[in-house]
Structure 1
Amino acid sequence: MPPKHRDGNVVAVIPGQWISHAHTLCCYTAFLGALIVGISLHYTKIVENEHFGYPTEWFPSVSATIGDRYPERSVFQLFIAITSGPRFLLVFLFYCLVNRKGESGAKWIAGVGVFRTLTCGGWTYVTSTDDHDWHDIFMISYLVATLPWTIGCLMLGPPNPTTVKWRKYLAGAFFGTLVPLVYFFIQHKVHRVPGAYTIYAFFEWALVLLDVAFDAVTALDFSTFEVVVRDVKGLSRGDKQRVQDAVLEKQKDKPIGQVFNARFDWHEMLDAVADVYMGFTFWSVLTSLGLLVWYFPLWHMGISGYEVAVMSTISPFLLEIPPLRRLITKFLPFNHLTMGAAGLLAYLVKSPEGRLGAVSFAVWEGCLGWTATWYRDRGDPKKLEARISAWMIGLIASSIAKFAFWTNNPMWPVMNAENGGWNKTGIFFFALSIGWVFYRRPQMADTMQQPLEKPRGSSALAGLGLAGLFFALHSLLSDSSTMILWVWEGYPVRGPLAVPHGAWTIFTMGAGLTFGLFYPNVTRSWSAFGIGSVGAAMLTGLSNWNGYYGAMTLTFYLCAVTPLLISNAVRFPPGRTFFTGFFVYNFMVLFHVWVVAYAFVPGGPLVREHTDWVMATTMILIGCGVFSALQNTAGAPAKQQKKTFQPPPNPAARRQRSYYIYTLLLLQLLSASIAYLRFPAYNYEPYHPDSKLITAGVWTIHFSIDNDMWSSERRIERLLRESELDLVGLLESDLQRIIMGNRDTTQYLAEELGMWVDYGPGPNKHTWGAALLSKFPIVNSTHHLLPSPVGELAPAIHATIDAYGTLVDVFVFHSGQEEDPEDRRLQTEYLSELMGRSTRPSILLSYLVIKPGEGNYNTWVSEEGSGMKDIDATDWDRWCEYILYKGLRKVGYARVSRGTVTDTELQVAKFAVGQPEGTGEYVAEGEVSEDMRFPALFRGEGVRGHRYHVFDEPRYFA
């Protein structure tokens, strides 16, 4: 008689660890087998890359080994297919291992494991040779899933000290290897360093080995499992005995860390995510305010009166009135609701004045709401830490959003569906977040507040500390490329790049915040303040990598000290303390604009070109906050003062902290993915290589804000593309200040148009900016600040490009204003002499403020001095923009109207390389080869307000 259902003879018993061993063996065989076969059969071919071959490069990358050639590709795919069976079983067994009662994360980690396995199959069987885009999509998805898989294994796995230790070591080594991996890839791809790709390949193989080794650790966990096959109908004769599962409960009380040993709760995780999104919304609104204010002085060319809107941050002064303070703290979510509604919906307001008003109100509500939130939770360290963490991670999320959208926050009111805005998406997620806050309010009722001692010292010191902190975070860390552009000095590249090194800045922000949460006594020390101050000095005074190391030091310190300074400030009366903080912050915002705009503001010459004063003042203000915090620590118990590691006071706080760290880790992975996706291809080609044609243009882009207060990058890009520009000089292009949104238009233009870019003198050089975009490689570039004894500084770029094998010098220049004739005379002499010394073919793309044939014009256009010629000396209508040249044959010249993009037209010239200069006489378009003609798109009425004007058509030359 066959046994009853589920009661059968045991046919087979497979020890659980064998599943893990089979996975490890098959996976390593797939990779190492392909490597051995590849080296044996196609060694010189698989070590070769687009720049170098054997013997310069002598070790193959993973992708070249497994995806390019037969039979190694087949060896890999065969064994990786065999690996899929043990892989799915491994995920299933891990699910069984962690699927404890009340554990909601088991299904989540199983889903991640299955997704990760499927995406592995995607990049395995769709190689970069087959379909590069889908290969990258699968690969990025696999890497993105690796972080939650790693966290889930650490978080949910049994508290076995051995497995926890090895998982930490291997996970740390895996993610640590990403840093040198990216570094050597850049050395190969950007700098074309011989042998760099071989070193990169070693780190790439290390990632593979570490990734598999991390999953191999499951063998230790699965030693308590057996996979049992039963015959429930009696058809076999199996009679193997089954060993009972080992009991893990004996280890349930062993801690595996201060944070990640508590039960995972999705409700609490969503609480953290909603809080972070509230912080993200606040920073999105605050960082947009200066940009809207800036629109008005641009058109007034001086103080407009609308600058008073920056004072909308001082709303916390209302908390000085007790009845209002009680009312505001009682209905706090409504402040956040009105902040988000007014700030995110402002893009629907068409008039610039109305939009500014809506955002000003949103900032008013946001500053008031966050101050009241911190003050309300001052007696509950757990809640206060959560609110501060959410606010800071919101800043990091805002910086990541700008990293993803080429330095524009897609939720800003200068964005819309036509220029890349995600306003509706932002509103949708804000609605979900604020709805969750209201829904969870009863469950998040106030706990017993700890009584606070009367604070020592002056509230003014705490407020000044806030002022320095708010200003430093906003001016330096609201965009990941700001400090990178501070230390940029041109080509060849000798320092960090906005992509991918912006991800390093974001990583350092997260690391600093985490350090500040775990080691508050270290961050409050004067030693830490001194290290941060050294970083600030290095950033201010040094360039390239040395300056960036200082920037990273300062970044780490600012984020680490944030919880300390805010926690200390809420001990004092909130109205006066945070009013002081935001009021002085506003002063600092104006201060760091005055150092550049000194020619247009009262008292400007007093602070002219003194970014060093701004930085010193910032650190002194933060020092005031540190001093205040130390005063209030003096009364703490001696035991607490001596500890350098202070975990939260109860297990609930430890669990809460973990959710914010999970959110932070996911954001960091998103940042790394963005850096990967945005990494440039560097395979740029000019529009008309057969004719050896250079189409060059100059455009004053007016800080990328159009006439109707919309961000204009996409409209600029479209016109430059349609004009088929190989070379373009952009003026008034430095946007890396609070008042301009801390943006960089050149990133979007360079990536979309496929061009090398030189940003020109950085934001710490006190100019309005000059930038160069080139389809041709920039061999070398230097930045110049021209003599300006009275007026604003005049930036210039002197670059050498490789155009069809010929070195051509390109100069981009913005001269001083009409009111400063002596400045313009000295600048003319300086740059004319610089151009005159060049023996190469040269092009000047400039803003000169002269009339043709008069004054300084005869110095710029001179056979004896600069050697430069005017692209069209008969064009009498120019005032600002000029294109000059020498050593090239001019082919054509056109003026394209600006539409509503800016206040200045685009001027374009065509040059032929390697041909003798022509007569310069006008010829009909039909006498010019079709490849050298201007696009017909802009004839007549043109498109979108862009047309050939002044001459109503392009001019061509013999």
Structure 2
Amino acid sequence: MANSSTAQPLLSFNAQFIAIAHTVCSLAAFLAALGVGYWLHFYKIVQNEHYGYPDEWFPSVSATIGDRYPERSVFQILIALTSGPRFLLLFISYIVFYRQNSIFPILGLVTGLIRTVTCGGWVYITSTDDHDFHDIFMISYIVLTIPWDMAVTKLSPTGSKIRRYRKYTAFAFFFMLVPLIYLFIQHKVHKVPGAYSYYAYCEWSLIFLDIGFDAWSICDFKDLTIEIVSTSKDATMFSTSFKTSTTSAKEPKLHAKPTQQGASLFQLTVDVINAFIFWSMYSSLFLLIWYFPLWHMGISGYETACLTLLSPILLSIPGTSKLVATYPQIVKAVSCLLGVGSYLVADPASRLLTTAAGIGLATISLSCDIWTLGNQKDTLAIKTYAATFVLGLILSAIAKFAFWTNNPIWPIMNKDTGGWNLTGLIVGVVSALFTKLPNAAPLSEKDIKTKKPSFVLTAMGFGSLIYSMSAMLTDSSTIILWNWEGYPIRGPIPVPHGAITLITMCAGIFFGLYKNNSYKKVTYAGVLGAIVLYAFNGWLGYIGGMAYAFWLCYITPLCFHHISKHTSLGAIFCVSFLFTVILSLMHVWVVAYAFVPGGPLLRERSDIVLGLSVLMIVGLVYDYQPLEVNGKQLHSVLRKLANHLVLLTLLSCWIAFARSQFEKPKPYHPKSRLMTAGIWTIHFGLDNDMWASEHRMRDLIKDLELDVVGLLESDTQRIIMGNRDLTQRIAEELEMYVDFGPGPNKHTWGAALLSKFPILNSTHHLLPSPVGELAPAIHATLDCYGELVDVVVFHSGQEEDVEDRRLQSLAVADIMGSSERPMVLLSYLVTDPLKGNYNTYVSEKSGMYDIDPTDDDRWCEYILYKKMKRTGYARISRGTITDTEVQAGKFVIPVNGHYDETYSQKRIDEKDVPPDMRFPSIFYGDGVREHRFHVFDEPRYFT
């Protein structure tokens, strides 16, 4: 080896040529395949499962490189040539980017190598060969791109143009995934012509952005020379040495560790993902618990599962907190495996208990994280962690915004209901394993002598903060629906204005760090906002709600810092979460008062729950003692967090745009002037096996061709129901107008209206209910083929509350009798046909007629009508979606107010009914997806 230093090099070249060769070969492979495909097989490669040319005009990457000869062979030969430069690029990048005591060089090398192998997987196993393995390798490649891009960007010189360019390229790559997924859904689910060609544009953009990201290595290698030198006299053995052509003054900078200002961008991202997993699990706990009292119609015993939130008390056991702080990765990973992986457990009770165990561990981990970071000399550490905690909350709300208010990794989701559980599980566990916490530092004597925060005020305030976030901020539409008044629209709507809620939350956490000394002024605004939110509706109420949401996010770093100063780790967090549980139960009691002990004390008193939660937080805020933070470190942290905030803001805006409806809904049979109306009690969107049921509800409503449908037990905008809105997916995917009905602050179980016809006006009623649960009603006026038609959706009280139901029947009769227009009542009446209150609903006062008085097998659901021609009536079995069937009626809308006043009860055979006025035949016999005609085993038709 000695004479290698004096021997003349056999070969010497600049390392840039490796990066250039990698870029040229990879680009050539894709472009050559695209060119050959266009030349030889254009019409075949643009053809997909639904459409061909001219509906589709641009081929996907898979169709181009894997479906045809010779372009497949051309691509694979050229991409094989890329492998040599690729591996050299990885190893040389490791040398150039090496930093002592940094995890990023080895992270980049390992993920880069694995990523290269997965690239070979989807390149050489095409979708034609094996679709599943092709997709597995492709998804793995995209997932591994995250740590690869992060590591390389992080190791690029701080403040340099190349670092900035890499960051922009990576952001563009991942942002392009959003339209890619949206367009794939448009193609695969909605079968929109041309959607796959636009999808192909995004797919090819990802290819070029990915190649472009690695092409920046050309700049990294410009000062690096590779020499091949002989080590023997006969020059048959060689060694490779690397040397830079830079001056000695620049050499130390190549290996110097950059100055660290606060947590790294990578660690911030890990913390955000961990917080996303926490909020996903936390928000699912009460939702799973709700399934059991729902079926028991009262206290079930499973409510005690919420006591797992008190698990931080275990940190009082000597050595436990040190163990959790030393191995946070293990605790978080196991928590994720239980809490997110519980979707694999079929039995509802076992799934609840598995999830509860997971969230119990997550609460322990969160508590220990806060305490550990709060006891560092760097006071910014705990506030930065608090910011990532809120960002995780925002990310979970964005996921729900994208998935129609269902979190895709909840245990009520699976592959049949649109869940991404496996993806969430993998991402959550990987993120957990990258968690890094500093060693817990004991409080100094100076800290001990300073005034300690109040135990009671701190516990109440922190517990109330967690409750308030879970009650109001886990879904972007919750505050909006608190302000919903019906038609004409006089305030915000969930889409697109949900993006405003999310952006406001982003602004709150940013200014909570940037202007942290203004917390008292912001608290005044937040309290005022809560009052306005409760007292007003429409845009004014929403503005108050945004001030309240901004405040909650703003004061989170303050609350985290305050609670971390308590030495009694287990006790303070246990008591805090006890207050969270108490407030959560109070939040349920305001509407469930008829089914719980002591319920009447909180009946319809959202003001007490909201006011008490606000006052608890205010108590903590005014007990807080502010501390100064390092300005340079704060600036550095804000700059890193800005990357996440900008990305979350862009995601929110894109989802709002993608979900906006631009097509006007159209009825199914306009030529016959037909309106098919249905009523369904949907049991809060949880089926008999505790799975989300929106997909199957949507499919049945579509198969029945319902133009108008009333949904009862539909208000799921509460903690116990996951803060969801069941109407959003159904309305958007079936192209219907929707009236959510009385909002969550009106204390009902919910009534909603979906319509293919424009809703011109709607009024929400809370009918007399002196004893039992509130009875909601919607009185809407629709534009049906130019005729004004009224629809009333109504849910009566329980069987036990006789006087309530009598008063409600009188009130609904008044509503129906007040209109001279054609009308349909879609209702839940709780009465026998032809008896008792039935004769109030069907009476001269109301002017309403029963769709089929001969059907004596009814008790709950009824359809009544007036001033329209009734042509059909059917009952369709529920399957396992809920405990109540669907009832549907067909009506012909009168022309210019002319209708048959005889209300003939004559039944006719189906063969005498025009085909487009019949119920779908798929429901005969065994039906479809467990839905069939039942009771009569056929529909009834009238003339």
TM interval, shorter chain, is: 0.7 to 0.9
Match of 2:605 in 1: 610
Given that residues 416 and 423 in structure 1 are in contact (C-alpha distance below 8 angstroms), is that contact kept between their aligned partners in structure 2?
Answer: yes
Aligned to 1:601: 596
Give the residue type in structure 1 aligned to 2:938: E
Q: 2 CA distance for matches of 1:459 and 1:142?
A: 57
Q: Deviations over 1:72-94 (max 9, x none)?
A: xxxxxxxxxxxxxxxxxxxxxxx
Q: Mapping of 1:193-342 within 5 angstroms? A: 268-342=264-338
Aligned twin of 1:940: 925
Whole-angstrom CA distance in 2 between matches of 1:401 and 1:118: 16
The equivalent residue for 1:460 is 456
Match of residue 162 from structure 1:
none
Pick aligned residue for 1:877 from 857, 871, 875: 857
Instruction: Classify 1:718/1:117 alpha carbon distance in 2 versus 1 (closer, same or farther; 3 Å).
Output: closer
Count of aligned residue pairs for this structure pair = 731
- Look up the match of 1:804: 785
Compute the displacement of 1:386 (Å).
3.0
Residues 286-321 of structure 1: CA distance to partner in whole angstroms, max 9, x if unpaired? 000011000000110000010011111111112233
**What is the TM-score when the length of structure 2 is the normalising length?**
0.73
CA contact 2:452–2:565 (8 Å) conserved in 1: no
In structure 2, the residue matched to 1:538 is: 532
Note if 1:925 corresponds to 2:879: no
Alignment of 1:569 onto 2:566: no
Query: Residue 159 of structure 1 corresponds to which residue in structure 2?
Result: none
Aligned residues of 1:105 and 1:264 also touching (Cα < 8 A): no
State which drifts further: 851-860 or 385-394.
385-394
2:766 aligned with 1:785: yes
CA distance in structure 2 between the aligned counterparts of 1:647 and 1:484, rounded to whole angstroms: 38
- Native 8 Å contact 1:796 1:813 kept in 2: yes
Q: Which residue of 2 aligns with 1:64?
A: none
- CA shift for structure 1 position 920: 2.3
Separation in 1, partners of 2:613, 2:499: 25
- The partner residue of 1:586 within 571, 576, 581 is 581
How many percent of aligned residue pairs carry the same amino acid? 47
Read off the aligned partner of 1:343 and give its amino acid letter.
Answer: G
* 1:250-286 C-alpha deviation (Å, 9 max, x unpaired): xxxxxxxxxxxx9899993222211111110000000
The AA in structure 2 aligned to 1:349 is V
Alignment of 1:310-709 (within 5 A): 310-380=306-376, 381-437=379-435, 441=436, 445-446=438-439, 451=444, 453-454=447-448, 455-523=451-519, 525=520, 527-572=521-566, 573-629=568-624, 632-633=625-626, 640=628, 647-648=630-631, 651=633, 654-709=635-690
**CA deviations over 1:501-544 (Å, ceiling 9, x no partner):** 10100000010001001122111x2x322211110011111000
- Residue deviations 1:214-244, cap 9 Å, x none? xxxxxxxxxxxxxxxxxxxxxxxxxxxxxxx
Asked whether the 8 Å contact 1:329–1:376 carries over to 2, the reply is yes
Change (3 A) 1:471 1:118: closer
SS at match of 1:904: coil
Question: d(CA) in 2 for partners of 1:669 and 1:775?
Answer: 32
Partner of 2:219: none
Letter of the aligned partner of 1:408 in structure 2? N
Give the AA of the match of 1:914.
P
Give yes or no for contact 1:144–1:673 (8 Å, CA) kept in 2. no
Identify if the C-alpha distance between structure 1 residues 106 and 594 changes in structure 2 by more than 3 Å, giving closer, same or farther.
closer
Shift of 1:436: 2.7
Aligned equivalents of 2:942 and 2:441: distance in 1?
Answer: 83
- 2:231 counterpart residue number: none
2:942 aligned residue: 957
In structure 1, distance between residues paired with 2:556 and 2:511: 11
How far apart, in 2, do the equivalents of 1:118 and 1:424 lie? 22
Instruction: Give the superposition deviation at 1:624.
Output: 1.5
Equivalent-residue separation in structure 2 for 1:601 and 1:628 (angstroms): 35
Matched with 1:744 is 725
Counterpart residue number, 2:873: 893
Are the equivalent residues in 1 in contact too, given 2:453–2:565 (CA < 8 A)? no
SS of 1:802 mapped into structure 2? strand
| Alignment correspondent of 1:255 | none
Cα distance change of structure 1 residues 134 and 522 upon mapping to structure 2, 3 Å threshold: farther
Maintained 8 Å contact 2:329/2:434 = no
Q: Secondary structure at the match of 2:616?
A: helix
Is 1:854 aligned with 2:835? yes
Deviations 1:442-481 (A, max 9, x none): xx65497884623424211111110111111000000000
Partner of 2:92: none
Tell me the distance in 2 between the aligned counterparts of 1:511 and 1:140. Answer: 30
Compute the displacement of 1:495 (Å): 0.3
Distance 1:721 1:663 in 2: 39
Cα drift, residue 144 of structure 1: 13
The question of whether the paired residues in 1 share the 8 Å contact of 2:262 and 2:381 is answered with no
CA contact (8 A) 2:716 2:723 kept: yes
Q: CA offset at residue 830 of structure 1?
A: 0.7
| Letter in structure 1 aligned against 2:606 | T
Shift of 1:739: 0.6
Instruction: Give the Å deviation of 1:396.
Output: 0.5
The whole-number CA distance in structure 2 between the counterparts of 1:466 and 1:887 is: 58
Q: TM-score if structure 1 supplies the norm length?
A: 0.72
Residue 669 of structure 1 and its aligned partner are, at CA, apart by 0.8
Q: CA deviation at 1:656?
A: 4.0
Contact 1:459 1:576 survives alignment (8 Å): no
For the 8 Å contact 2:514–2:638, the answer to whether it is kept is no
Judged with a 3 Å threshold, the aligned counterparts in structure 2 of structure 1 residues 134 and 105 are, in CA distance, closer, same or farther, namely farther
Structure 1 contact 703–734 (Cα < 8 Å) conserved: yes
2:886 counterpart residue number: 906
How much does 1:352 deviate?
0.6
Deviation at 1:874, TM superposition (A): 0.4
For 2:391, give the aligned amino acid. Answer: I
Equivalent pair of 1:890/1:910 in contact (CA under 8 Å): yes
Q: What secondary structure is seen at the aligned counterpart in 2 of 1:735?
A: coil
Question: Is the CA contact 1:893–1:909 (under 8 Å) kept in the aligned structure 2?
Answer: yes
CA distance in 1, matches of 2:516, 2:392: 20
Structure 1 regions of 5+ residues with no counterpart?
A: 1-97, 123-129, 149-248, 250-261, 641-645
Partner of 1:725 in structure 2?
706
Partners of 1:766 and 1:355 lie apart in 2 by: 29
RMSD: 3.5
CA contact (8 A) 1:140 1:673 kept: no
Question: Relative to 1, partners in 2 of residues 1:110 and 1:899: Cα closer, same or farther, differing over 3 Å?
Answer: closer
Q: Please report how far the alpha carbon of residue 738 of structure 1 lies from its aligned counterpart in structure 2 after TM superposition.
A: 0.5
**Does the aligned pair in 2 maintain the 1:144–1:669 contact within 8 Å?**
no
**Matching residue's letter, 1:910:** K
Q: 1:448 to 1:598 in 2, by over 3 A?
A: closer
* SS of residue paired to 1:370: helix
- Cα distance change of structure 1 residues 767 and 102 upon mapping to structure 2, 3 Å threshold: closer
* Partner Cα separation in structure 2 for residue 116 and residue 275 of structure 1: 19
Distance 1:400 1:382, change over 3 A: same
C-alpha distance after superposition, 1:177-221 (max 9, x if no partner): xxxxxxxxxxxxxxxxxxxxxxxxxxxxxxxxxxxxxxxxxxxxx
> How far is 1:485 from its partner?
0.4
Secondary structure, counterpart of 1:663 in structure 2: helix
Distance in 1 (CA, whole Å) between partners of 2:198 and 2:550 is 32
AA of the residue aligned to 1:288: S
Report if the CA contact (8 A) 2:373-2:381 is conserved: yes
The 8 Å contact of residues 157 and 163 in structure 2, kept in 1 or not, is answered as: no
Distance 1:117 1:367, change over 3 A: closer
8 Å CA contact 2:373–2:438 kept in 1: the answer is no
Which residue of structure 1 lines up, in the alignment, with residue 776 of structure 2?
A: 795
817 and 110 in structure 1: CA distance in 2 versus 1, 3 angstrom threshold? closer
